[in-house]
Amino acid sequence: MALYTCLLFFFLLFLHARQSTASGGSWSVLVPSIGISAMHMQLLPNDRVVMYDRTDFGISNISLPEGKCRPNSTDCSAHSVEYDVATNSIRPLMVLTNVWCSSGTLMRDGTLVQTGGFDDGYRVVRTYKSCDSCDWQETPNGLSKSRWYATNHILPDGKQIIIGGRKAFSYEFYPKMSATENTPSLPFLVQTNDPQAENNLYPFVFLYPDGNLFIFANNRAILFDYSNNLVLKTYPTMPGGQPRNYPSTGSAVLLPLKIKGETVNEIEVLVCGGAPKGAFFNANKGIFNGALDTCGRIKISDSNPQWLMETMPLARVMGDMLLLPNGHVLIINGASAGVAGWELGRNPVLSPVAYRPDNEVGSRFEVQNPSTIPRVYHSTTVLLRDGRVLVGGSNPHDKYQFTNDVLYPTELSLETFSPTYLDSNSSDLRPKIILPVTSSKVRYGKQLVIVFTVSGVVDPSLVKVTMVAPSFNTHSFSMNQRLLVLDGGKASKIIGRSRYQIIVSAPPSGNIAPAGNYLLFVVHKEIPSPGIWVQMEQ
């Protein structure tokens, strides 16, 4: 018996060591300083990325152009920038009102619509349409209610819904039909609000393929008919009942939607990390509880859905979860103790973790190579068209703190993480899309012929086509994030030695893929091509 116990101990130790050993991916610093701390981030369909922090951090490290200053202010520095991926260059932008802890959505035409913020920005709507000389446009009182720490989602009709926010237990739409449009209440946000701790800000919101919304806040979720203000289903509380939303900040993704015909048969959500009950109060007293190391996965399309709990190799609070083109999930950024808030996080987690949703339980997580730069509170990440992951931000202080006399100084750098699929030893497996050309229009339900090249040997049965919606990222949640696996047959060789085609069906409806811009990838043996932009339309 003693021998058995000893062998079991060493076997478990071996398994832990396997999960905790970094296995892949590489890091590269793109820009040592973009001048601001990237608290909010959105990829645009011209391969530029808009970033901003807040207007009351102090003087940033990048000036507004042509000697401009914000109106009624002595601050002549920028608090928003546009990063051009192609030229690796930064252009300062001017926000007029406070965008701190706001939310946003990329609209059908590629305009970023950003809503809410703090103080003079509570009810402001701001729009940004990218061009070489464009800047933010602001609409005062564009919202019916103050929205701070809210979540936005694009809807099938082209509007966006704005849900919740601090002391805002309601939702509203933008654009509005009229100035008197009502703001329906959402009692679920009252029910999930922990006294003095909240733990339900920036709720996790996903568009269900029937057009309703899945909303997760704190430790539980509902399926919500926003048109009729009706809760259609209440999901079980996640086992353990630990909070997963701000300030006990975890993250969540809607796992890849595999389209078959005109439907998606299985719809699953994955929620990972966070902080235990009481961690917010303890952190404010200087006691930093360890972050949660669990994920909950639930098949929300089941008639009797239940949570499946899994254990991550690294505990994490304030982490981000990003869908990669091959359908894997990257868990990145964050800390292993404390909560979100000023000076409330400790022990940065430098290593990302890859999660492979189609693997068997127990073999889904894999630790990746670490960064050297802490990315704690107010860090961000988005997927780029070439498959790299852009990472920026980190400022756990209520002002800019650039010196090393504080824990985790304000981070101004921009770096990329290149997943293992970008390794040079995979280059002969990597597809390159020839047709359609980028910016092509794709119509619902129509056949889509994709021509691509691969220099090495192709396994036609291991080729798939995915579409990824570019998400708005802030505070550990990527709004509007979804990945579609298109329905189609095997790839077949056509002209020449290395040219192939695959015929797939475009998404069947706006409930599954709201109209707008998507990144389209061909994936071969889990190695994605560089993406192309396509625009879904009727």
Mean pLDDT over residues 96-111, rounded? 98
pLDDT for residue 92 is more than 50: yes
Residue 198: band (very low, low, confident or very high) from pLDDT cuts 50, 70, 90:
very high
What is residue 179's predicted lDDT score, i.e. its pLDDT?
79
What is residue 22's predicted lDDT score, i.e. its pLDDT?
65
Residue type, position 408, single letter: Y
CA distances from 311 to 297, 381, 386, 531 (A): 11, 23, 31, 32
- Six-digit token pair at 404? 């090393």
> What pTM, to 2 d.p., does this model score?
0.95
What is residue 72's predicted lDDT score, i.e. its pLDDT?
87
Q: What percent of the chain has pLDDT over 90?
A: 92
pLDDT digits (tens, 9 = 90+) for 222-236: 999 999 999 999 999
pLDDT for residue 34 is more than 50: yes
What is residue 184's predicted lDDT score, i.e. its pLDDT?
98
pLDDT for residue 10 is more than 80: no
Residue 13: band (very low, low, confident or very high) from pLDDT cuts 50, 70, 90:
very low
Per DSSP, the residues of 261-317 read: TTEES--EEEEE----TTHHHHHTTT--PBPP-EEEEEETTSSS--EEEEE-SS--B
What is residue 489's predicted lDDT score, i.e. its pLDDT?
79
Q: How far apart are CA 19 and CA 193, in angstroms?
A: 35
pLDDT for residue 497 is more than 90: no
Q: 353 versus 7: which is more confidently predicted?
A: 353
Residue type, position 377, single letter: Y
Mean pLDDT score across all residues of the chain: 94
- Six-digit token pair at 355? 């999660």
Number of CB atoms found within 10 A of residue 306's CB: 12
- Pairing state between β 89-93 and 487-488: unpaired
Residue 82: band (very low, low, confident or very high) from pLDDT cuts 50, 70, 90:
very high
Q: How far apart are CA 191 and CA 32, in angstroms?
A: 44
pLDDT digits (tens, 9 = 90+) for 432-471: 999 999 999 999 999 999 999 999 999 999 999 999 999 9
pLDDT digits (tens, 9 = 90+) for 395-441: 999 999 999 999 999 999 999 999 999 999 999 999 999 999 999 99
pLDDT for residue 354 is more than 60: yes
Per DSSP, the residues of 187-219 read: HHHHHT-BTTTB--BS-EEEE-TTS-EEEEETT
CB 51, CB 413: distance < 8 Å? no
Mean pLDDT over residues 58-65, rounded? 97
Q: How far apart are CA 154 and CA 223, in angstroms?
A: 16
Residue 177: band (very low, low, confident or very high) from pLDDT cuts 50, 70, 90:
confident
Q: How far apart are CA 68 and CA 79, in angstroms?
A: 13
pLDDT digits (tens, 9 = 90+) for 307-331: 999 999 999 999 999 999 999 999 9
Q: How far apart are CA 37 and CA 99, in angstroms?
A: 13
Mean pLDDT over residues 190-210, rounded? 98
pLDDT for residue 11 is more than 60: no
- Six-digit token pair at 450? 């994709």
pLDDT digits (tens, 9 = 90+) for 119-172: 999 999 999 999 999 999 999 999 999 999 999 999 999 999 999 999 999 999
